[in-house]
């Protein structure tokens, strides 16, 4: 038994030395994972102002005319005539709005208002033929209309194809200043009586607008857009009345009503300056 004690002591000493040596070896633990990348900045959140220019053309381009004519006690006649008056021209002005880009999302909500002047105008002529008893009545109408200005207040819903490229749909209120007028001339045969008159409409109409567009943030604080809008301001009606000398000592009374629709389409380009574009993310090492 005594002969084994030195061997046990040596073995214990070797084990202790191995443990101490193992404790001195370097550690090979895996490095910690890198921090997640910062979220993309909300480049589109903020307000902006800008300018736009383009072309507008009308949808319903007719001006309809209806006249009710009497020739003394002989009777009444109603004539109809419609003239073609396209409402086409240049349009240009300014816009302002605000966007909100949901954090970490590609969806952008916005509200925009704009107002533009236009050169859109249309002119056309038409003639209607009626009869009262043995007498014929020819009425010639000369029609003119203009869209003086057009404004909108619209919501926008956009989606980012890339962080700097947005496609969007838009819609809301449209309003515009319009004018329209009619000059009319009537001729009775076979006796040659004639007469004429005029009427007009001038005011502001309100309706709706909807469309779509694409906008590109091509450098910090600046974006360019291309947009299509359809607008509908509703109808305008105005009256033209006059007197015509009648046959057999009577008086011919003429009363005409004109009507047209102010609606159409806009294609335009624009540029916006954004006031508070988010800065690029800070990368920490």
More confident site: 14 or 36: 36
Q: What is the 3-state secondary structure (H, E, C) of 68-120?
A: EEECCCCCEEEEEEEEECCCEEEEEEEEEEEEEECCCCCEEEEEEEEEEEECC
Contact 272, 50 (CB under 8 A): yes
Contact 225, 24 (CB under 8 A): no
Q: In this model, does residue 285 exceed pLDDT 50?
A: no
Residue 275: its pLDDT value, please?
A: 93
Q: In this model, does residue 25 exceed pLDDT 60?
A: no
Give which of 105, 96, 110, 121 is closest to 42, Cα–Cα: 105
- Expressed in angstroms, the distance from the first to the final Cα of the chain is 65
List, in sequence order, every beta strand (DSSP E) within the chain: 46-58, 62-70, 76-84, 89-101, 107-118, 121-132, 135-162, 165-189, 194-219, 222-245, 251-274
- Which residues share a beta bridge with 177? 149, 204
Distance CA 210, CA 240 (A): 34
Residue 265: its pLDDT value, please?
A: 98
Reported as a single tens digit per residue, the pLDDT across 179-217 is 999 998 877 776 666 777 889 999 999 999 999 999 999
Q: In this model, does residue 40 exceed pLDDT 90?
A: no
Distance CA 151, CA 153 (A): 7
Contact 217, 43 (CB under 8 A): yes
- Which residues share a beta bridge with 64? 82, 259
Cβ contacts of residue 68 below 8 Å, gap of 6+?
Answer: 76, 77, 78, 254, 255, 256
More confident site: 151 or 133: 151
Distance CA 145, CA 177 (A): 11
Q: What is the mean pLDDT of residues 33-57?
A: 84
Residue 210: its pLDDT value, please?
A: 98
Reported as a single tens digit per residue, the pLDDT across 231-240 is 999 999 999 8
């Amino acid at each position: 038994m005594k002969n084994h004690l030195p061997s046990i002591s040596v073995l214990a000493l070797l084990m202790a030395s191995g443990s101490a040596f193992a404790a001195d070896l370097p550690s090979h633990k895996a490095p910690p994972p890198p921090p997640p990348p910062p979220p993309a900045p909300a480049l589109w959140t903020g307000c902006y102002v800008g300018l736009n220019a383009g072309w507008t053309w009308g949808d319903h381009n007719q001006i309809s005319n209806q006249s009710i004519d009497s020739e003394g006690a002989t009777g009444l006649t109603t004539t109809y005539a419609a003239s073609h008056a396209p409402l086409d021209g240049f349009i240009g002005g300014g816009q302002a709005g605000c966007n909100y880009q949901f954090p970490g999302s590609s969806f952008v909500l916005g509200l925009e208002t704009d107002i533009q002047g236009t050169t859109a105008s249309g002119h056309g002529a038409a003639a209607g033929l009626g009869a009262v008893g043995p007498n014929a009545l020819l009425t010639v109408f000369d029609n003119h209309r203009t869209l003086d200005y057009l404004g909108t207040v619209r919501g926008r819903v956009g989606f980012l194809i890339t962080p700097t490229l947005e496609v969007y749909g838009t819609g809301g209120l449209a309003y515009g200043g319009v004018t329209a007028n009619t000059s009319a001339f009537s001729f009775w045969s076979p006796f040659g009586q004639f007469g004429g008159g005029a009427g007009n409409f001038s005011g502001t109409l309100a309706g709706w607008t909807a469309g779509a567009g694409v906008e590109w943030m091509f450098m910090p604080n600046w974006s360019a857009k291309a947009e299509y809008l359809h607008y509908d301001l509703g109808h305008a009606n105005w009256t033209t009345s006059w007197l015509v000398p009648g046959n057999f000592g009577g008086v011919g009374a003429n009363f005409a009503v004109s009507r047209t629709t102010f609606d159409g389409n806009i294609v335009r380009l624009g540029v916006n300056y954004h006031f508070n574009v988010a800065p690029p993310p800070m990368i920490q090492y």
